Amino acid sequence: MTQYYFIFNQELCTECNSCVIACVQKNEEIDGQLRRVLPHPISISCNHCQEPLCQEVCPVNAINKRPQDGIVTVNSEECIGCKRCAKRCLYQAPYFSETKMKTYKCDLCLDRLNNKMLPKCVESCLMQAIELKQEVELSNKEKNLIANNSLPNSGVIKPNYILKKIEER
């Protein structure tokens, strides 16, 4: 299995929100946003955790972690809209659509990945602050960052998200 990792470099981010706009444009039919920019700044979406809480709580097993690349997807045909996953996720990644009464979440733009293109958010980032790498491509420094991840509660659910902090001045 080659797990995908989001790498976010705080130093480069200018809070331009272009990643959010690109994501919303790509997922027009969902009528909501799957990626957010928090004030620090942190651009965050689904982290495709190693042990996803959303998958654990789904009553109809509609959420799946793909064994080949570790992408966590929702099967919208099976989803019954109980909102459990949206409530329980610590990073609020699943989005409950009121119009469709179903939950949607980031799937790393699977259709683009299959055509060997990068996800929309990564492509749209002006400063290239967001990167997407596979496990094999990570450098030693980045592997170190995974071990002591600074996201909250990362010890329990192991999010696959690498945060490069601004060095304290």
Partner 1 sequence: MLGLGKIFELFSNFNLTRLEVKEELCLNYRFKQKVCNRCAEVCPNSIINVEGRKLIVKKDNCNSCGFCYQVCPTGVFNILEGSNAKLTSEIRNLANKESRLKIYCSQHKRKFKDGLEIVCLGRLDEKLLLEGLLAGATDIWIVDTDCTDCKMQIGEELFKEVLSTCQDLLQANSIQNRIYYTNDEPIEEKRSSLKFNKIEANNSQTSEESFNRRDLFKVLRKGVRQASAKQLKDKGALPSKQDRLLQLIKSLDIRSTNLPWLEFSSDCDFCQGCSHLCPTDALKVEEEEERLTFKFNPLFCTSCQLCEISCFYNAVRLTDFKNNNKVQLAANDLDRHYELFSGYKARCQQCDDEFYTAKNEQKVCFNCQYVAEVII
Nearest Cα to Cα of residue 47 among 23, 11, 71, 15: 71
Cβ proximity to partner 1, 61 vs 148, nearer residue: 61
Residues 44 and 83: their CA atoms lie apart, in Å, by 20
Residues 102 and 76: their CA atoms lie apart, in Å, by 7
Of the candidate residues 14, 156, 165, 166, the single one contacting partner 1 (CB under 8 A): 156
Cβ proximity to partner 1, 88 vs 112, nearer residue: 88
> Is residue 57 at the binding interface for partner 1, with CB under 8 A as the rule?
yes
Residues 88 and 10: their CA atoms lie apart, in Å, by 26
Residues 19 and 42: their CA atoms lie apart, in Å, by 11
Residues 45 and 112: their CA atoms lie apart, in Å, by 17
> Is residue 151 at the binding interface for partner 1, with CB under 8 A as the rule?
no
Q: Does residue 114 sit in helix, strand or coil?
A: helix
Which segment (24-32, 44-52, 79-87, 101-109) binds partner 1 by CB under 8 A?
Answer: 79-87
Smallest distance, partner 1 to C-beta of residue 53, A: 9
Of the candidate residues 48, 84, 105, 164, the single one contacting partner 1 (CB under 8 A): 84
Residues 14 and 19: their CA atoms lie apart, in Å, by 11
Of the candidate residues 42, 82, 113, 146, the single one contacting partner 1 (CB under 8 A): 82
Task: Give the x/- contact pattern for partner 1 in 99-118, rule: CB under 8 A.
Answer: --------------------
Smallest distance, partner 1 to C-beta of residue 45, A: 20
Q: What is the dihedral of CA 144, 145, 149, 151, to 10 degrees?
A: 180
Q: 167: which DSSP letter?
A: P
Cβ proximity to partner 1, 39 vs 155, nearer residue: 155
Q: Which residues bind partner 1 (CB under 8 A)?
A: 57, 59-61, 80, 82, 84, 87-88, 90, 153, 156
